[in-house]
Structure 1
Amino acid sequence: MGREHALHQVQGRSGGLLLPVSEKLTVLIDGDIIAYKAASVHQKTFDFGDGPVYETDLEGAIGLAENLIYTAAEKLKASSIVACLTGPLMEISARNFRKELLPTYKGNRKGPKPVLLPSVKEYIRSTFDTKIKDGIEADDVMGIMCTHPSLIPGKKVIVSIDKDLLQVPGRHYNPDTDTKRMVSEQAGDRLFMMQTLTGDITDNYPGLPRVGPVKAAAILDEEPDGPIDPEITQLQWHWSRVVKAFEKKGLTEDDALVQARCARILRHTDYDFKRNEPILWSPR
């Protein structure tokens, strides 16, 4: 399928439009995970004592990436596909605003990436309607597009296996577990605060030391000492609990804020479209 065709409709493998335009539904595909999986499956690594040697199959990797994307689109009866990717890719740099906030962010990922990863990502970019923004990750692009009221008309579904994206209010589909979810703003905000406390080993930001999911939930669910201002939101209340927990361990609100800004998946209110840069999250 050519790129121009993919911009407007998803052609099923048996032929035909999957949904009429009046019922437009766009799948926001996590292209990073698709590309990584396809490139990894079609790479064999051998070591004969003088360093690794790779056997790769680019045609197979491209075929698998396409199959994963179209299978998800057909499963959801989508009318449009948008693939979201993270740089570097052609003119898009490897800059990441989270690394500017916390230099150790993703600094633990030292192993070699699949050899075919850049080629598969370029193929996705050239074949599908693809969105990529300098300085932010594919997760952020999906979060912005899913929550923006007018960038994409109709319904949007985030397609990813990444649990972090469940911070984003809206429709979600996990193709590995064949699970559909509708995430409310309150549920998304709670997960955001949970991850601020627990951190993320994969992304290498620590959160609050020695706090796992059970302790994090207990911190957020702590009963107030007295009446709560009726004007305070759930997110503001949870943030006050997060700051209190950080201060109990000799840390500051600024320390908590760095963790929150690393944890937060951007929504459309977290992005400056004129400057093309993220707006750092603030509790105020």
Structure 2
Amino acid sequence: MLTLIIDADVLRYMLAFQNTKKISFDDDDEGPIEIINPSKAKAALEDYVEELMDKFKADDFLLPLSVSTNFRKDLYPLYKANRAGKVRPELWYHVDGWIKELWADKVIEREYLEGDDIIGLLATNPNAKRAPGKKIMVSIDKDMRTLVGRLYNPNKPELGTMTISQHDADLYWMLQTLTGDTTDNYPGCPSIGPKKADAALLPVHEKFLDADPADHLAALWAAVVDVYESKGLTQEDAILQARLARILRHGDYDFKNYKVNLWHP
């Protein structure tokens, strides 16, 4: 049994932008108008899923979607605040409707969780009822590299299906904790970009590569806290950024009480 866990959030935006043109008129003070191609977008949506199923000879697929609520905004109100006021393209709503109309039984949404979190919970749960057996995450989102499992990036087919180990997933998560993410509007550690983050964590990662995953993560975390403290910040500051950067994994969500189990070092 092989189930594809397809990032449907990406689909909504990708197909909307690919099939929308904006035209401006010199004498129009109201700004550009959108010219959309719904029939082409719907055909592309169906082809996208069909081609993936054929490529991997998969038995099933799931389509996690984000909702308007988000637990990270309760932790850090500025999370994704940079997107406030931005108008979605009209075609986004069409694609959203088609996904739910064509594959209602494949769509998974849950209050306060992002689609990424649902992907993570499914992909890392060895006994997931909705995704039994083997699983492949399908996404172009770099954040998927923080999850243990198999990942296929449709925008980089030459990479094939990558297998992400526990050590690699934790390394990327800790790197994100240091650098933050401008797309999601959380800052990470001040003045720490990818090069400085690599310099702080890659030697630790390599030193503990053969260690137990818990020891490997503990060593990475100690290095992360050292960097935060060198900038006059505290471990609590680092914990907040780690929680924002962490895509939920198996055990991070209480399904009975609909509650996120926040990570603690």
Above 0.5 in TM-score? yes
Deviation at 1:161, TM superposition (A): 0.5
1:160 aligns with 2:139: yes
Are 2:153 and 1:174 aligned? Answer: yes
Corresponding residue for residue 207 of structure 1: 188
Q: CA-to-partner distance for each residue in 1:48-68, whole Å, 9 max, x for gaps?
A: 322332222222222112212
Q: Distance in 1 between matches of 2:31 and 2:93?
A: 21
Q: Percent identity?
A: 41
Question: Structure 1 counterpart of 2:107, which letter?
Answer: T
Give the match for residue 253 of structure 2: 271
2:30 and 2:151 map into 1 onto residues whose CA distance is 45
1:242 shift after superposition? 0.8
| Distance in 2, Cα, partners of 1:150 & 1:74 | 25
The answer to whether the 8 A contact 2:126-2:133 is kept is: no
Q: Which residue of 2 aligns with 1:13?
A: none
Whole-angstrom distance in 1 between the partners of 2:153 and 2:126? 23
Q: Tell me how far apart the structure 2 counterparts of residues 275 and 59 of structure 1 sit (CA, whole Å).
A: 41
1:67 matches 2:47:
yes
Contact 1:45 1:52 in 2 (8 A): yes
Retained in 2: the 8 A contact 1:85–1:121? no
Question: Secondary structure, in 3 states, of the residue corresponding to 1:238?
Answer: helix
Residue 129 of structure 2 is aligned to residue 149 of structure 1? no
Aligned match of 2:92 in 89, 112, 117?
A: 117
Stretch deviating more after TM superposition (199-208 or 38-47):
38-47
Deviation for aligned residue 1:199: 0.6
Once the 2 structures are TM-superposed, how far is the Cα of residue 277 of structure 1 from its aligned partner?
2.4
Shift of 1:222: 5.4
Residues 1-284 of structure 1 correspond to what in structure 2 (within 5 A)?
Answer: 24-47=1-24, 48-87=28-67, 94-109=68-83, 110-128=85-103, 129-151=106-128, 152-178=131-157, 179=159, 180-221=161-202, 233-283=215-265
RMSD: 1.6
> Unpaired segments of 5 or more residues in structure 1?
1-23, 88-93, 224-229
Question: 1:196-241 CA deviation, whole Å, 9 max, x = no partner?
Answer: 0011111111111111122112222456xxxxxx986111111111
1:35–1:65 Cα contact (<8 Å) kept? no
C-alpha displacement at 1:111, in angstroms?
3.0
Alpha carbons of 1:233 and 1:106: their partners in 2 closer, same or farther (altered >3 Å)?
same
Structure 2 CA distance, aligned partners of 1:256 and 1:182?
28
What CA distance in whole angstroms lies between the structure 2 residues aligned with 1:272 and 1:119?
Answer: 33
Q: CA, structure 1 residues 127+249, in 2 after alignment: closer, same or farther (shift >3 Å)?
A: same
Determine the C-alpha separation between the residues in 2 that align with 1:73 and 1:35: 19
The question of whether the paired residues in 2 share the 8 Å contact of 1:170 and 1:184 is answered with: yes
Partner SS state of residue 124, structure 1:
helix
Q: Secondary structure at the match of 1:86?
A: coil
CA contact (8 A) 1:34 1:68 kept: no
Structure 2, unpaired ranges of 5+:
205-210
4+ residue runs over 3 A deviation? none
SS in 2 for 1:181: strand
Offset at residue 126 of structure 1 (A): 2.4
Local SS of the residue matching 2:225: helix
How far 1:258 moved relative to its partner?
1.0
CA distance 1:79–1:279, shift in 2 (3 Å):
same
- Is 1:261–1:281's contact at 8 Å kept on the other side of the alignment? yes
Counterpart-to-counterpart distance in 2, 1:142 and 1:199: 21
1:167-197 CA-to-partner distances (Å, cap 9, x unmatched) read: 1100110111113100011110110000000
Q: What SS does the aligned partner of 2:263 have? A: coil
C-alpha distance in 2 between matches for 1:85 and 1:38? 15
